[in-house]
Amino acid sequence: MKKRGAGILLHITSLPSKYGIGDLGPAAYRFADFLRDTRQTYWQILPVNPTTRISGDSPYAGTSAFAGNPLLISPELLVEDGWLEPSDLQDYPDLPEDRVDFQAVIDQKNRLLSQAYRRFKPKEAPHDYEQFCDRHAGWLNDYTLFVTFKEHFDQKAWAEWPVEIRDRHYDAVQSLHSELDDRVGYHKFVQYLFFTQWERLRNYCHDNGVQVVGDIPYYVQYDSADVWTNPDLFKLNDQKRPEFVAGVPPDYFSETGQLWGNPVYRWETMQSNRYQWWIQRIRQNFRLTDLVRVDHFRGFLAYWEVSASEETAEHGRWVKTPARDFFNVILKYYPNLPIIAEDLGVITPEVRELIADLELPGMKILQFAFDDHLPQNPYAPHNHVRNCVLYTGTHDNNTMRGWYEQEADDATRQRISDYLGKQILAEDIHRDFVKMAMRSVASTVIIPMQDILGLGGDCRMNRPATGQGNWAWRLRPGQINEGVRDDLQHMTGLYGRN
């Protein structure tokens, strides 16, 4: 990312599709064509791990740090590959084009995937299926047991399963596995479909000069295959429940801090086995993407832990990690570490020093630039550094137009007007900020698709601290017209980012 380049932030679920959610099918290939034609280098997405309804369908709250989300599997490609017949898609209901109705999509995708599995079972398994199962056995076997057992135990959290299954007693697990072997096979087949479709799309992106930027959440969910499989890596009690949970302390934005609830790591245990779980996790992400943004990067140096009995994040403590040792090990596997460090918010000098020593690009957000400390604000364009990734906003921000109309006060609007030397119109704010980003010294600029289109606040992806109604926005068919295409191509070339 040291060469000037540009890209678009658009999650897979936000693509157009006849099937209620964006997927890895034809619209994804058309979007890759759009990126190629407009001289974009990067397609940034959110995590693609399996999501759950109980976690608000958040891609940052997956049931596995390794598995792929079955909802992203394309029905059209299943027909193309012979796993479904065209008639199987005829009864698919009409679902909203502009939003994801997650429950309706889950019901329909499960129906289609079950039909595909019924066609798969009588056949001799394709050679690449066996290769897939062997290559991914390190996580696939445990993940498919986890989701199968959750089905069997009525979706209860794994700590509520019978003790011998909760604690992974070998004989008990093998006995239940034998009883539920067909469902385990189903979930393996679904993962095979996901990774087959994903690899095909990624290769197409590469063939068209587009690199895929992924996203790794620092923490994992408690009710996940990762924690059930590796309880010794997390601070759990004798009942396998969290002793401490993650969050951030009180700050300007919250008097009581943020209590995220994720189990925290036992870094001393991870250090003793030379961080094998993290190495496997990073390797898996680089099988999927070319670069990754690491969310909450500061957690690698120190994290805020709170007793699981607390109701807020006020009464916690900072716990240091063996950060230098960890990255020395990781660098042996990845000498040119292709990571974007999410370094937003209050970041200590030690974290800044680590990021600088690793020569990782940090993040800059233009929406944060125009406060009353504008001259010194590190997010303001005149203070940008070359080695960073610049965004107008992220998935957690309002759209540019939504922010300007709903959140920016009169003083902020005036500072923007003064900075740009012109009167600002709300309907033009997205183009003004995209231009501002494109001409920055920052080596890489990534713009959310909503800001390319100038969409309002009703099209934002996520509202932090709200548990429901997020992650649902979708790009409508035809929304990317020739004018949008030509304008983006022109700006990308004009500012030397092609």
- Catalytic residue positions, numbered: 295, 342, 396
Identify the bridge partners of residue 245 per DSSP, sorted by sequence position: 263, 306
Q: Which two tokens stand for residue 284?
A: 């898996």
CB 365 within 8 A of CB 373: no
Identify the bridge partners of residue 256 per DSSP, sorted by sequence position: none
Amino acid code (one letter) for 102: F
Give the length of the chain.
498
CA separation for the pair 348, 77 (Å, rounded): 47
Strand order in the sheet with 362-365: 339-341, 291-294, 211-216, 42-44, 5-9, 444-448, 388-391, 362-365
CA separation for the pair 191, 49 (Å, rounded): 11
- 390 membership: H or E segment, kind and range: strand 388-391
CB neighbourhood size of 443 (10 A): 19
Distance of alpha carbon 376 from its chain centroid, rounded? 31
CA separation for the pair 282, 85 (Å, rounded): 37
CB 201 within 8 A of CB 26: no
Q: What Å distances lie between residue 375 and 200, 372, 411, 417, 483, CA to CA?
A: 47, 8, 15, 14, 35
CB neighbourhood size of 236 (10 A): 20
Q: Which two tokens stand for residue 346?
A: 């209050």
Where helices occur in 394-479 by DSSP H, the ranges are: 400-406, 410-420, 429-438, 449-453
* Number of alpha carbons in the 13 Å side-chain half-sphere of residue 356: 8
Amino acid code (one letter) for 468: Q
Q: Minimal CA–CA distance to 393: which of 373, 369, 377, 359?
A: 369
CA separation for the pair 80, 400 (Å, rounded): 39
CA separation for the pair 316, 294 (Å, rounded): 23
CA separation for the pair 289, 351 (Å, rounded): 25
Q: Residues 6 or more apart from 84 whose CB is under 8 A from it?
A: 75, 78, 112, 115, 116, 119
- Tokens 């698709």 map to which residue? 449
